[in-house]
Structure 1
């Protein structure tokens, strides 16, 4: 982890130095010039090469090397995706909204309202301190578990389309499983980051995290909701991977998730019908395979440049859920292959920005949280686009930022606010903002100054222990210190106390064993292999 962080801290200056070094090297063929002599033609060619390389590449690298570049990138990408989603929801939902409510603006109006709620939540998360976010993580997860239990009670949870997974209040539906995903990713990142610093055992890593995930997964399966089950499974796997657990643990968890997903897919009638229709789409094209078949027709009808925004025909009751699960088919029909590839490019830019924030953050909690959130969004997008184009079975997962879904839109925007908060806590950004070099976006949002990351006492002592010279090795240019005579009545004490001996009991997080009199100390085996961020 330390090597990866060091490489990333030097990336901004290292890239610029490498570009400048590359531009100052003059190509001299062997035998055509002596030492210190270059022909005039070769000098002109080298000068043109320097001018070409020093132009846009250096300016782009300089822009990426700015302290607030990650903050600006995440806000810009999220804003573009949200704006595109609102436009496509307006285009795809008009027919359905008019048929259900007598107005073509109802679904779009609800989506705008939930987007405003998400923007307020994202702005609030920008104001939250990292310590406060970690402090309320476990309590928030307990609250969402209670909501998942309440939604299963008839009369409290609303039953629609065979699933009891919504609260309906004053005509607005709220899905508690989306809130559970937010709480789980924050609490899971907090738990793993804290125990990683303490070098806890593998059992202490998995026992609180995996059972808590199983409880949430079981409640979501009982609704039933296969899509949210898969989404929460993606978050769990991303936490295990980016926390740096051994590869065998991750592979075992991955196989367990696949086996559980296969069992769930074949257990219920509607889920098994989706799998069979995916394996043989032409077996029942007018029933179970109708939706996937119409999505392919819409994509094929769009061609390269599409039929034009608002000019698609699939949304005229040919493609069910055109504004929600299958909105990518409407994008392909109205904006064509160019629009679909543009959307994929935006998701690719989002992936780059999220992993950039994770690599450049000094706080292990923020690194794990931003990397897992990035994988959560990308995993949902991959599955949604996959079943629209026919390479995956239909799961009902929404396309993040794009699909019409109130709670999903608000949840994603809240997590974008936390990612932007993490971008403001990069070491370079903290130094720039606290030095008074504020930018226009921070002035417009009136955000407080970020607090520099201070490692805990355990991590500080461990780093100090690693950098101090070993006993018996004299420093260069200095005489070795003379050893003091050992008193015979005092036992020999180690030069540096062990980290495990200095750890205090922490309720719910770390259980340090008490050494009995005369018992030999056995050091813990380090569980983590280092966090993985690219």
Structure 2
């Protein structure tokens, strides 16, 4: 039977979505809006003449994300499974389109965006999510090949290599690392043999290392990451200013709105380095709290994925795993860059940093997770009802036997 495109969710079902998941997500979104407002006040006033331009834009992006999410939550995961290959091809097309002169928008030397007038669509954000949907379907269709044959392991990696080539042409090294790491993690969770995983992981690390040192600006970033204070007013400026923000924040912070580094000292304070401003204003305890919230969010997504697998719905389970891996990878890289544990690269903090593509795509994927949760609840309700009916029938049969005796 062909699944319907729209399978509407009732208000009662919306209210039944995992309470901890919803509350954690809502808290992170509120914190993100507060931090975008605080971190962007100075640059917004300088560029647009009023301090709340970026806050207003972020609210618009949030509204668009909620609209997109409200559509996705009413689409059956069976439809997503069916259209996974199409979604992957669409994202591949966007990665090609963004490289076309006159269509792709270039910012700071990177051509990663397509101007949609309301916001700039970052093709790599779409590619990451669409690849998760495709890989979830692939792990279901080719489960035996992934577990038993090299071809099942190599085919998705070959496809991923094509994505990486297009991402590196933009260039977007950070998205390349996240995409490759997510695909490999999903293959591992899908049952790929450990020796295959380790071998390809070593090869991938070697390839990424070659890419990292192939360009002079990447080498400079690596050297500055090792010792940003060697050139604190030039190549190491951004990281050294971020570290100063941590020093100012100490344990309890300067208070919301009281950051000094956001006053044109720290570049990209409301995007890539918003975590540094958050720690400066709320202290190390505030930073740990935010990381804890992300950990809780990811754990609830994994829990929903595990429930889907237990109900015999591997596509939904793998999709939840993939979305959670995407969030973990981006949080780890962004926080690592902000704290100086990783080389500087342009990667936003999900649901926190300013940006239309990141917020809309990430929040939309979490609405899909909510959809999986609702379908789990539906199946659980049906199974519970069947069990009750079965027990009732057994009891009636037993009563009849006793009456006959």
> TM-score over 0.5 for the alignment?
yes
Deviations 1:136-162 (A, max 9, x none): 111111111111111111111112101
1:281 counterpart residue number: 228
Alignment of 1:118-517 (within 5 A): 118-170=65-117, 172-196=119-143, 201-361=148-308, 362=311, 363-426=313-376, 429-432=378-381
Deviations 1:362-383 (A, max 9, x none): 2111111111211110111011
Q: Distance in 1 between matches of 2:25 and 2:247?
A: 28
Deviations 1:328-361 (A, max 9, x none): 1001110111211110110111122122112221
Q: Distance in 2 between matches of 1:187 and 1:200?
A: 18
Which one of the candidate residues 60, 72, 83 is aligned to 2:19?
72
Q: Is the 8 A contact 1:125 1:417 kept in 2?
A: yes
Q: Is the 8 A contact 1:70 1:356 kept in 2?
A: no
Q: Distance in 2 between matches of 1:194 and 1:248?
A: 22
Q: Is the 8 A contact 2:147 2:192 kept in 1?
A: no
Q: Distance in 2 between matches of 1:326 and 1:234?
A: 22
Q: Distance in 1 between matches of 2:44 and 2:252?
A: 27
Which one of the candidate residues 97, 100, 112 is aligned to 2:44?
97
Over 3 Å counting, the alpha-carbon distance change for 1:433 and 1:269 in structure 2 is farther
Cα displacement (A) at 1:435: 7.6
Q: Is the 8 A contact 1:70 1:357 kept in 2?
A: no
Over 3 Å counting, the alpha-carbon distance change for 1:233 and 1:200 in structure 2 is closer
Q: Considering only aligned residues, what root-mean-square deviation do their CA atoms show, in Å?
A: 2.0
- Count of aligned pairs between the two proteins: 369
Corresponding residue SS for 1:174:
strand
Q: Distance in 1 between matches of 2:207 and 2:144?
A: 32
Q: Is the 8 A contact 2:147 2:193 kept in 1?
A: no
Q: Distance in 2 between matches of 1:388 and 1:173?
A: 24
Corresponding residue SS for 1:275:
helix
- Which ranges in structure 2 are unaligned for 5 or more consecutive residues? 1-14, 386-405
Over 3 Å counting, the alpha-carbon distance change for 1:364 and 1:162 in structure 2 is same
- Which ranges in structure 1 are unaligned for 5 or more consecutive residues? 1-67, 437-534
Cα displacement (A) at 1:207: 4.3
Cα displacement (A) at 1:434: 8.8
Q: Is the 8 A contact 2:99 2:111 kept in 1?
A: yes
Q: Distance in 1 between matches of 2:307 and 2:118?
A: 43
* Greater helix content: 2
Q: Is the 8 A contact 2:114 2:121 kept in 1?
A: yes
Corresponding residue SS for 2:40:
helix
Q: Distance in 2 between matches of 1:300 and 1:336?
A: 9
Deviations 1:437-489 (A, max 9, x none): xxxxxxxxxxxxxxxxxxxxxxxxxxxxxxxxxxxxxxxxxxxxxxxxxxxxx
Cα displacement (A) at 1:257: 2.4
- Rg larger for: 1
1:5 counterpart residue number: none
Q: Which moved more, 1:131-140 or 1:262-271?
A: 262-271
Cα displacement (A) at 1:256: 2.4
Using structure 2 for the length normalisation, give the TM-score.
0.86
Corresponding residue SS for 1:425:
helix
Cα displacement (A) at 1:279: 1.5
Using structure 1 for the length normalisation, give the TM-score.
0.66
Q: Is the 8 A contact 1:89 1:108 kept in 2?
A: yes
Q: Is the 8 A contact 2:94 2:123 kept in 1?
A: yes
Q: Distance in 2 between matches of 1:122 and 1:322?
A: 28
